[in-house]
Structure 1
Amino acid sequence: MNTAQFIPKTRSEKIEKVSFTWQTPSNIALVKYWGKSDPQLPKNASISFTLNNCHTRTTIGFSKQESKACADFDLFFEGKEKEEFKPKIADFFKRVQIYCPYVLDYKMIISSTNSFPHSSGIASSASGLSAIAMCLMSLEQALNPSLTAAFIIKKASFLARLGSGSASRSIEGPLVVWGEHPAIVGSSDVFGIQFPYKVHAVFENYQDAILLVDKGEKQVSSTLGHNLMHDHPYAENRFVQANENVSKMSEILQKGALKAFVNLVESEALALHAMMLTSTPYFILMKPNTLEIIQKIWEFRVAENSNICFTLDAGANVHILYPFNEKEKINRFIESELAQYCQNKQYILDVVGHGAKKG
């Protein structure tokens, strides 16, 4: 791993006070990564759709001060100071300070808002930490204007990964691969890359409806879930399966093979939950309404000859994926048949997006 490329060599500018704002999206993995080694390296490659409407908007104000031994920051979420969020962000700054030594020279005021419920299985760590990473890279670019746009994106993904593995996939879009894989040119364990091949037109404006079955805190944190893979009896086979599925998904995305897409996406979702069902300790992350929704989707798919499918992250909420040409029909189905299984009948209509946006 060539991580030395991310250690700044020079700073040509001096900046006393500055502020940057970035909006970065969540993402939904089509082929899941579950299991990692230090420092935040995946046990298998993964590929995800970048979302558009589910995002975090973060502003960081940087004020020059005497250099500190560790990052000095205040953290506000949805307008309120959040001490309980600070340890994770402090750990993130410790991990990145060798690559971003300037964080020790500034007092940082971090203010974030989400367009979706926090900690409810919509990858809030992915969007939150990728937004912080983009703000850091804006400061680094201001300190060293010679940095290229391509390097900034690559390093932002690298930094985001050190906070949350899936955050490496929230810098770009609409399809991002994270994890070294022989079928994906340029892929890496240390940062995500845009899917490098021409994608069939059917996937360019794919829809994602997120059904909020349970808006509360996740039963199992991602960190705990990944750690359960260390001694899991099926872990090695799962890593092999996932990497094989990345190869299959690459072909599907290029060919526009919708039926194969449906089968592989749903299989991957259930495989992720199967690993949690068979871990020690074991967890059931789905809720009864999750299963009701899945059954309804299967029935609708057969009755309507539809290409609708579901996927899940490590929680109870259901992502419904479908092509744009079925949008009206499926949105009516969601409102009339599936919303009743959501908490307070809430769901989010989303579409694949193109990554981080400044300002």
Structure 2
Amino acid sequence: MDKMDDFFILKSSVVSHDTLSSGSVSWQSPSNIALVKYWGKHGEQLPQNASISFTLNNCHTKTTLHYAKKESKGFDFEVYLDGKREEGFEPKIVSFFKRVEKYIPFIHEYSFKIETSNSFPHSSGIASSASGMSALSLCLMDMERLLNPHLIDAHFFFKKASFLSRLGSGSACRSIEGPLIVWGGHKEIEHSSDLFGTQYPYEIHANFLEYQDTILLVDKGEKQVSSTVGHGLMHGHAFADARFSQAYDNLSQMKTIFKSGDLDAFIALVESEALTLHAMMMTSHPYFILMKPKTLEIINHIWAYREETGSKVCFTLDAGANVHVLYPKNEKEEIQLFIEKELSKYCQNGQYINDCVGNGAKKL
């Protein structure tokens, strides 16, 4: 067991269980978009390579956790999405509770009602599991803080929330804070860890402040393959070792880019990372093509626009068909006009979400 695991367990062991009878806590937690992608995991939700992400602002999940003391042991909860009972979510919550119970043992002593809502379509490639699991973890940490106010400071609170989030959904550990979060140990990034996300600790050029992300909703339906299945396909993948090495090197390059403000280098690295992620899925066994024809149309339009105008717009992708259009704030007006006139026609029902880099979760 890792020493940090021990630390979180020891902290939990001194919690008083007599001070809360019933109540509720609420948190809003954002999604995030990885620039250097994590793809492939080992052990208990540990990444095969380090990643770095922009924390988003407008794409978020709001979760209220209602709790009531009970006598019986075992997990007791119900999940509601937008006011409707969602039993389909509950097996994932059971798996999450089983992973975290040794770190927050009080979950056996309460009945829970989990009420959640997203500002974006669920399971559409906008990392709803990241925002959802991080919001739930923050609510659970709020309970632990109420039970144990003298032992939990803000630094510990957010670190453990990230740690718990990871056990629900790997990328969720990058949704607790912002604006740039590293997850995964990397020798060149101080305090980076496989166990939780950490704020990027080095200089960030003004070019990357208030960066914009418009998410083009090419396909708002369920993803063709879940992220869990996708990560599993990296086991025994012919190109896995080369990919993990590439990601490590790309994160090293990203340090230089963030310091220098080199937007051309940023574009080249971010787009390469996005296409490499999809290449891993296209060359796995079984193989999947997660992009749609309209995804490719959008990419080609972005490339043509950049060539014609000298714009610093670029794209990235998660494990789905939607496109994240990234651009500096000083191009906001022009790029949003380009999206409305040229790219929105490739979106399902013309829908897209204008977002920007944010600073993380907040208590409601």
Q: TM bucket by the smaller chain?
A: over 0.9
SS of structure 1 residue aligned to 2:198: strand
Residue among 104, 124, 133 paired with 2:137: 133
SS of structure 2 residue aligned to 1:63: strand
CA distance in 2, matches of 1:127, 1:254: 28
With the length of structure 2 as denominator, give the TM-score of the two structures.
0.97
Residue among 334, 338, 345 paired with 2:339: 334
Aligned partner of 1:5 in structure 2 is 7
Look up the equivalent residue of 1:237 and give its one-letter code.
A
Aligned partner of 1:303 in structure 2 is 308
Look up the equivalent residue of 1:74 and give its one-letter code.
E
Any runs of at least 4 consecutive aligned residues in structure 1 with deviations exceeding 4 A, and if so which? none
Residue among 284, 287, 293 paired with 1:288: 293
1:107 maps onto 2:127 in alignment: no
CA distance in 2, matches of 1:296, 1:319: 13
Q: Note the alpha carbon deviations across 1:45-97, whole angstroms, 9 max, x for none.
A: 0000000000000000110111413x210110111000011000110001000
1:201 maps onto 2:210 in alignment: no
Q: Note the alpha carbon deviations across 1:296-340, whole angstroms, 9 max, x for none.
A: 000000111010000000000000000000000000000000000
Aligned partner of 1:120 in structure 2 is 124
CA distance in 2, matches of 1:73, 1:5: 27
Compare 195-204 and 239-248 and name the one that shifted more: 195-204
1:172 maps onto 2:177 in alignment: yes
Look up the equivalent residue of 2:6 and give its one-letter code.
A
Offset of residue 171 of structure 1: 0.2
CA distance in 1, matches of 2:189, 2:354: 30
Which residues in structure 2 correspond to 1:28-107 (within 5 Å)?
Answer: 28-69=33-74, 71-107=75-111
Look up the equivalent residue of 1:106 and give its one-letter code.
Y
CA distance in 2, matches of 1:11, 1:39: 25
SS of structure 2 residue aligned to 1:29: strand
Percent identity between the aligned chains? 63
Offset of residue 25 of structure 1: 0.2
Aligned residues: CA RMSD:
0.7
SS of structure 2 residue aligned to 1:182: coil
Aligned partner of 1:254 in structure 2 is 259
CA distance in 2, matches of 1:50, 1:176: 7
Offset of residue 38 of structure 1: 1.8
SS of structure 1 residue aligned to 2:13: coil
CA distance in 1, matches of 2:198, 2:355: 22
Look up the equivalent residue of 1:331 and give its one-letter code.
Q
Q: Note the alpha carbon deviations across 1:263-318, whole angstroms, 9 max, x for none.
A: 00000000000000100000000000000000000000011101000000000000
Aligned partner of 2:363 in structure 1 is 358
Residue among 168, 175, 188 paired with 1:163: 168
Look up the equivalent residue of 2:136 and give its one-letter code.
I
Q: Note the alpha carbon deviations across 1:2-22, whole angstroms, 9 max, x for none.
A: 211111131246111121000
1:321 maps onto 2:326 in alignment: yes
Residue among 119, 128, 144 paired with 2:148: 144
Q: Note the alpha carbon deviations across 1:133-186, whole angstroms, 9 max, x for none.
A: 000000000000021100000000000000100000000000000000001100
SS of structure 2 residue aligned to 1:173: coil
Aligned partner of 1:183 in structure 2 is 188
Aligned residues: 358
Which residues in structure 2 correspond to 1:217-236 (within 5 Å)?
Answer: 217-236=222-241
Could you tell me which runs of 5 or more consecutive residues in structure 1 were left unpaired when the two chains were aligned: none
CA distance in 1, matches of 2:263, 2:50: 22
Residues 243 and 67 of structure 1, relative CA distance in 2, 3 Å threshold: farther
Could you tell me which runs of 5 or more consecutive residues in structure 2 were left unpaired when the two chains were aligned: none
CA distance in 2, matches of 1:89, 1:11: 23
Offset of residue 223 of structure 1: 0.5
Residues 67 and 250 of structure 1, relative CA distance in 2, 3 Å threshold: farther
Look up the equivalent residue of 1:90 and give its one-letter code.
V
1:266 maps onto 2:274 in alignment: no
1:237 maps onto 2:239 in alignment: no
Offset of residue 198 of structure 1: 2.0
Look up the equivalent residue of 2:71 and give its one-letter code.
E
